[in-house]
Amino acid sequence: MAMDRGTRASGLFKGAFRAFSFLFLMSSAPALAEDPLERFRIDLEELRKENEGLQGRIDALEAEDEEARHGLGLLSNLVEVSGYADVEYTFTDQEGEGSGFRVHNLSLFFTKDIQREWKLFTEVEFEDAPRIESEKAADTVKSSQGTIFIEQLYIEYHPKLSWDIRLGRFLTPAGVWSIYHYPPYVPTQTSPIIYKVIFPKVSDGIQFKGSFTLRDSSIDTHLYVANGSGNPGALDRNEGKGIGARVNADLLTGLSAGLSYFGERDNEGTLKMSYGAHVLCNGSALRLQAEYQIRSNETDAASGFDDSGWYAQAEYDIGKWTLAARYDWYDPSSESPDDLWTRATAAVNYRFAHNVVGKIEVNRNWFDGLPTEDYSQAILGVAVAIGDL
Amino acid sequence: MAAFLKKIALLTAVALALAASSIEATEPVAIIVNRANQVDKLTEGEVKKIYTNNTLAWPDGVPIIIYDLSINDQSRAIFSEKILGKAPDLVAEEWAHLKITNQAKNPPQIMKTPTLIIRRVMREKGAIGYVSIGLVQNNPDVKVISTLR
């Protein structure tokens, strides 16, 4: 009986509790419907703050890590390596040439900061996958292909940002293409005809490079004394030295222009005086570049002649694509004014990344009055820049 | 019904979070120099001259040290478009060409985070950099010389 009473009381209590719970839930139902939103908002805010705090700590840790590595970098004994490489497939109807793959360039740059103000800079170029094999029983070369070339090797002294001195072999500072011509950063695989023809490609000597501001224009200057074209190091067989200069001025925003000069007496006694003018217009998407160069060649025996040429190039960026066109003109001798080499080039580049470029180029060469037959080329290539640029 | 309400709440929360992040991304960019720098203000043209190496030193002769953010950073995108008039990857490519030819006079140093730029600018008298303005508003060790919106 007592059990019954207890059981009944317990049942009554449970019933009352259930009823109370039901009434409570019913009365607070609208508030519960809103609570999750509010809770999410508060949770989100807390998470955001927490995230900011964590991000700040990560930034600070990364900063300390970077600082430590920067400190180590200043003391590093490592040589910085960068460079570029390009491979291509060429279709051509040129007489004596065949279509095919070409392992065109592998250029490696080695830079070493020797002291705060001294640097060693070298560029070693491997062209057409060079291979040199000697006879087993002798020092004579059994077979060879391609080119290995020290394109640049100089010691640089740079006490100020505004000037430096370079001693050794450097790219001859003349116009634009002679300095800025590396495949990942130019639209075409073929160079303008005048490149390496009127001014020498490289010079062995000493170069002063200085920058200053005149009114609102920034002026860059190069002055150099060198052995002269075709006179690397110990092979210089004349007393005379070549003297050259280049000046470039930023005239307006994105517009620069300049002049170049190089004079030398070569090993055959020919006095060569080269002059160049260039203009570069660099807009947000459009770039225009043109150069004109002329060289007088005077010998004691003959009256001499001039050779001259120019090119004009336009590039237009559309996202990752670049469209380019160039026209080349070259007159090899003023003695025969009807002899001309001209070329029209069109190119399309696609940037897979900022340092990987796919290139398609089509060009047509015309030879008026010259023994070479006209020919066309189509080049498909990929160029990459390597190293931490 | 409860599940539906929960979904609505979650979607609202996500939308709010996205809105908040986009507000952060478009926050003005402050161009900063060291507190000791004598320059108090620069025009956008003057900043461009510094970042294109047409100006190499401050008026008192101190060499300029240029800091840049990585090309994927939102502040760099704003800075690049407003000051240099080009997308960051095109600017990076031009620097790469100058560096590979050893023609760059004073190339920018790329920092992974804005915190690093602030630290360097706080420490180096000739330094210039840019970061989201919210990061330096109450920092007495750097001077905001221009703001990009």
> Contacts of residue B57 in chain A, CB cutoff 8 Å?
161-162
For all residues of chain A together, what is the average pLDDT? 86
Which pTM was predicted?
Answer: 0.77
Enclosing domain of residue A232:
80-386
SS (H, E, C) A270-312: CEEEEEEEEEEEECCCEEEEEEEEEEEEECCCCCCEEEEEEEE
A239 shares its domain with A377: yes
Query: Quick check: B86 contacting A, CB < 8 Å?
Result: yes
Cβ contact A218–B114 (<8 Å): no
A180 shares its domain with A298: yes
A303 shares its domain with A253: yes
A29 shares its domain with A10: yes
Nearest CB among B17, B20, B112 relative to A62 is that of B112
Cβ contact A48–B93 (<8 Å): no
Nearest C-alpha neighbor of B36 from the set B132, B148, B127: B127
The total of structural domains in chain A comes to 2
Q: Chain A residues within 8 A (CB-CB) of chain B?
A: 33, 36-37, 40-41, 44, 48, 56, 59-60, 62-63, 66-67, 82-84, 109, 111, 121, 152, 156, 160-162, 171, 179-180, 182, 184-185, 211, 213, 218, 250, 253, 284, 317, 351, 354-355, 385, 389
Enclosing domain of residue B69:
27-148
A372 shares its domain with A242: yes
A96 shares its domain with A63: no
A327 shares its domain with A180: yes
Pair type for strands B65-69 and B127-132: parallel
Distance from CA of A107 to the nearest CA of B (A): 10
> Contacts of residue B62 in chain A, CB cutoff 8 Å?
none
Asked if residues B82 and B75 have their Cβ atoms less than 8 Å apart, the reply is no
Cα–Cα distances in angstroms (integers) from residue A75 to residues A71, A119, B35, in the given order: 7, 14, 28
> Contacts of residue B112 in chain A, CB cutoff 8 Å?
62, 66
Length of chain B: 149
pLDDT at B22: 43
pLDDT score of A16 more than 80: no
A195 shares its domain with A240: yes
pLDDT at A290: 98
Instruction: Give the rounded percent of residues in chain A with a pLDDT score beyond 90.
Output: 56
At A175, which CATH number? 2.40.160.10
A135 shares its domain with A248: yes
Task: For residue A163, give the H/E element and its range.
Answer: strand A163-171
Search chain A and give the residue with CA nearest B102: A121
A290 shares its domain with A151: yes
pLDDT at A57: 78
Taking only the tens place, the pLDDT of each residue in A242-294 is: 999 999 998 887 899 999 999 998 878 889 999 999 999 988 889 999 999 99
Distance from CA of A279 to the nearest CA of B (A): 17
pLDDT score of A31 more than 70: no
Name the token pair of A302. Answer: 């003959």
Out of A42, A76, A110, a domain closes at A76
Asked if residues A157 and A118 have their Cβ atoms less than 8 Å apart, the reply is yes
Q: Do the domain assignments include residue B115?
A: yes
The total of structural domains in chain B comes to 1
pLDDT at A71: 57
Q: What's the ipTM?
A: 0.71
Cβ contact B92–A284 (<8 Å): no
Cβ contact A36–B114 (<8 Å): no
* Structure confidence at residue A140 as a pLDDT band (50, 70, 90): confident
d(CA A384, CA A267): 38
Taking only the tens place, the pLDDT of each residue in B67-108 is: 999 988 999 999 999 999 888 888 888 888 888 888 888 999
A239 shares its domain with A373: yes
Q: Do the domain assignments include residue B121?
A: yes
Distance from CA of B5 to the nearest CA of A (A): 8
The widest CA-to-CA distance across chain A, in whole angstroms, is: 145
d(CA A248, CA A214): 12
A28 shares its domain with A103: no
d(CA A189, CA A184): 9
Cβ contact A354–B93 (<8 Å): yes
Q: Do the domain assignments include residue B142?
A: yes
pLDDT at A235: 66
Asked if residues A186 and B94 have their Cβ atoms less than 8 Å apart, the reply is no
d(CA A388, CA A81): 8
Taking only the tens place, the pLDDT of each residue in A57-68 is: 777 777 677 666
Distance from CA of A262 to the nearest CA of B (A): 20
Distance from CA of A111 to the nearest CA of B (A): 9
pLDDT score of A204 more than 80: yes
Name the token pair of B125. Answer: 């008298």
Cβ contact A182–B90 (<8 Å): no
Name the token pair of A1. Answer: 């009986």
At B76, which CATH number? 3.40.190.10
Out of A29, A60, A76, a domain closes at A76
Q: Do the domain assignments include residue B68?
A: yes
Name the token pair of A261. Answer: 């000069």
d(CA B22, CA B18): 6
pLDDT score of A219 more than 60: yes
Out of A76, A101, A118, a domain closes at A76
Distance from CA of B120 to the nearest CA of A (A): 9
Strand arrangement, sheet containing B127-132: B109-111, B65-69, B127-132, B29-34, B142-148
